[in-house]
């Protein structure tokens, strides 16, 4: 009886370890997700800077037109 309990405990532990290992994402996937997030953030920042520069240019043109 004691050996049967140990055997069942070992089998359940092994099954749990295999289940958890099978569900885990690989490190490469996490790095790829992080890279995608960084790329999206950089695109948004670039768009925001581009819009700000365009608005500043429009303001300069308006000020130049008013000065003339």
Q: Distance between CA atoms of 42 and 48, rounded to whole angstroms? A: 10
Query: What DSSP element (H or E) covers 36?
Result: helix 27-67
The pLDDT tens digits of the residues spanning 18-66 come to 777 666 666 667 788 888 898 889 888 888 888 888 888 888 888 888 8
- What's the domain count of the chain? 1
Q: Which domain holds residue 26?
A: 2-67
**15 or 45: which carries more pLDDT confidence?**
45
Distance CA(6)–CA(56), nearest Å, equals: 74
């Amino acid at each position: 009886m004691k050996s049967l309990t140990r055997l069942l405990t070992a089998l359940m532990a092994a099954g749990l370890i295999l289940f958890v290992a099978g569900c885990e994402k690989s490190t490469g996937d996490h790095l790829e997700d992080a890279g995608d997030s960084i790329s999206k953030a950089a695109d948004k920042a670039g768009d925001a800077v581009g819009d700000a520069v365009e608005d500043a240019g429009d303001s300069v043109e308006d000020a130049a037109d008013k000065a003339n």
